[in-house]
Structure 1
Amino acid sequence: MTARAAAAYDADLPLILDALRAEGLAAEAVDWDAEAERWDRFDLAVIRSTWDYAERIDEFLTWADTTAHATRLWNPASVVRWNSDKRYLSALAGHGVPVVPTRFLEPGGSTHEEELPTGDIVVKPAVSAGSRDTARYEPGQTADALRHARLLLDQGRTVMVQPYLRRVVEGERALVFLGGDFSHAICKGPVLTEAGVIDNLRVAHPGVTPYDPTEAELRTARSALAALPAAGPLLFARVDLALDDSGDPVVMELELIEPNLFLAHSPQGLERFTAAVAAKAAEAG
């Protein structure tokens, strides 16, 4: 599945369709919100670039639940719901997974300067995609950070506040797992390059290059996936990591709904994804 406004920007999608068809599978791209679509005509529905879901979260989650009753949805609707709100970082931390320290502010609660971390910070909504409505602030911009948080809270949105990891300039790592196994990884440049700016048109993945993760990064990613509320391996997962001030990897986000898998940067990754989808389709048959 994709979204009407996203399909043209999904670099993975044409590669996936061509590869699946080459394997003899009848694959097609369908908008998740296509009117009168009969999802029961498919043996398998795979979520890909449904990149508008965060702006229509209730509608999207209802669609996921409904579609999961009509066909086999991957990733499963329960995982989609869990991963749609970044309060899952608290759940990961509760399982001992190293994550970026995060404070969540709820609508109707207090919002004061003393509630914010010291130093550079990041303010963003707990339900978001593509760094929308997100900005970082330097110590002299605390008033701006509070205004940002209150604006989101006034919209009824949960807000998350995190320290800005200074070593993110060394690159964000994205580790891709397919069928439960590590497939490939990329490194990309930092996104929040200018302090105090909310830019919803920024490039989400600047400077992507293939990357060989360290053993520590692989351990951290695997520990995050082991903490998932899922009965078995997922069809796809992407674990986004950065280094903390000590140089240790921490989880920034866990992407289980509609992540870019960077398949153009990994021919082996495309082969693995195709094989994983084919295996799920065979199970459905």
Structure 2
Amino acid sequence: MTICAYATYDGPDDDRELTLEAWSEAGIDGRVVRWDDPEADWSVFDAVVVRSTWDYVERRAEFLAWTRRVGEVSRLLNPAEVIERNTDKTYLRDLGVATVPTHWSSHDLPDWPEYVVKPAISAGAKDTIRTGDRAVAAAHAARLEAAGRTAMVQPYLDMVEAEGETSLLYFNRRLSHAVRRTPMLAAGTTSADNARAELRDPAPDQVELAEKVLAAIPQALLYARVDLVRLSDGSPAVIELELTEPYLYLRYDNAAKNFAAALRELV
């Protein structure tokens, strides 16, 4: 039987049991292992699947070193080189497609009605603010820079509250499902809202954009989540490309089975 590690952390993860059940049905023996477990022998696994490693942000260098070590003794999915690039949001500069406008400095901020300011290395909106005050936005960006971090300044897009963010989920480069996500920075939103979503049929222009992004990545991708919004002219744009440890919304349709089938294909 194929044996795969589900690399995780000690906190909650409501995709975990769905994943393990679907893996088992597909003939995969899934073992839950904390990514930073010093006793783990990663060489015994046919593949190590990076999942809810959501505590890595404060220890990114340690996490990337772990991905490289695992990649030397097992099949790491997604691969270490993909994860290293994807955990720093400066990758947005190089996608070659429409992205949310981003100002990469605390100086000379554009004149936008509202700002979102966040570090380029972060997760779960940590150290992220939304403000209508240009000076407050600049000051937060300056604090990030003073701490040795790259600051991202973006306009807050009102349409995300009406239309929401659309996330397209791909397993082994096949579209599995898409969801409308709750905007993380909308007024009144709590951390519990971040995992809530509803199924959505993506529009053809959204699928075209997402697949153009993925086509530019040569490495194997077990999973990919392409998060899109619409700009003021109605055109789709990438807000994030999640290739490291995205929440996959596996409770929808046959998503968990699709994920397991993709893993079987790659191992």
Choose between structure 1 and 2: higher strand proportion.
2
* Residue 5 of structure 1: aligned partner: 10
Question: Secondary structure at the residue paired with 1:247?
Answer: coil
Cα displacement string for residues 21-77 of structure 1 (whole angstroms, at most 9, x for unaligned residues): 223322111110001211101111000000112221111111101110010000000
Residue 127 of structure 1 pairs with residue 121 of structure 2? yes
Question: Secondary structure at the residue paired with 2:36?
Answer: coil
Deviation (angstroms), 1:206: 5.6
Cα displacement string for residues 91-128 of structure 1 (whole angstroms, at most 9, x for unaligned residues): 01xx2x111111223xxxxx33x234422111000001
Residue 29 of structure 1 pairs with residue 32 of structure 2? yes
* Residue 202 of structure 2: aligned partner: 213
Percent identity for Structure 1 against Structure 2: 40
Residues 125-204 of structure 1 aligned to structure 2 (within 5 Å) = 125-138=119-132, 141-169=133-161, 170-194=163-187, 202-203=191-192
Deviation (angstroms), 1:207: 4.0
Unaligned runs of 5+ residues in structure 2 are 1-5
Cα displacement string for residues 150-203 of structure 1 (whole angstroms, at most 9, x for unaligned residues): 2211211111111111211121111000111111000022111249xxx9x734
Question: Secondary structure at the residue paired with 2:76?
Answer: strand
- Pick closer, same or farther for the CA change 1:117–1:33 going to 2, 3 Å: farther
* Aligned match for 1:250, one of 237, 244, 250: 237
* Residue 15 of structure 1: aligned partner: 18
* Residue 279 of structure 1: aligned partner: 265
Bigger drift between 185-194 and 124-133 goes to 185-194
Bigger drift between 144-153 and 46-55 goes to 144-153
Deviation (angstroms), 1:222: 0.8
Contact conserved, 1:75 with 1:234, CA < 8 A, in 2? yes
- CA separation in 2, counterparts of 1:84 and 1:120? 26
- CA separation in 1, counterparts of 2:27 and 2:195? 35
Deviation (angstroms), 1:262: 0.4
* Residue 214 of structure 2: aligned partner: 225
- CA separation in 2, counterparts of 1:142 and 1:120? 8
Question: Secondary structure at the residue paired with 2:123?
Answer: coil
Deviation (angstroms), 1:204: 5.8
Deviation (angstroms), 1:4: 3.1
* Runs of 4+, deviation exceeding 6 Å: none
What count of residue pairs does the alignment treat as equivalent?
261
Contact conserved, 1:178 with 1:273, CA < 8 A, in 2? yes
- CA separation in 2, counterparts of 1:115 and 1:144? 11
* Residue 103 of structure 1: aligned partner: 103
* Residue 3 of structure 2: aligned partner: none
Deviation (angstroms), 1:143: 2.0
- CA separation in 2, counterparts of 1:193 and 1:27? 37
Unaligned runs of 5+ residues in structure 1 are 106-110
Bigger drift between 161-170 and 65-74 goes to 161-170
| CA root-mean-square deviation | 1.8
- Pick closer, same or farther for the CA change 1:124–1:173 going to 2, 3 Å: same
Contact conserved, 1:131 with 1:204, CA < 8 A, in 2? no
- CA separation in 2, counterparts of 1:14 and 1:57? 26
The TM-score with structure 2 as length reference comes to 0.92
- CA separation in 2, counterparts of 1:31 and 1:39? 11
- CA separation in 1, counterparts of 2:32 and 2:180? 28
* Residue 108 of structure 1: aligned partner: none
Contact conserved, 1:2 with 1:31, CA < 8 A, in 2? yes
Contact conserved, 1:186 with 1:209, CA < 8 A, in 2? yes
* Residue 246 of structure 2: aligned partner: 259
Question: Secondary structure at the residue paired with 1:264?
Answer: coil
Contact conserved, 1:102 with 1:161, CA < 8 A, in 2? yes
* Aligned match for 1:238, one of 221, 225, 228: 225
Contact conserved, 1:121 with 1:136, CA < 8 A, in 2? yes
Contact conserved, 1:130 with 1:204, CA < 8 A, in 2? no
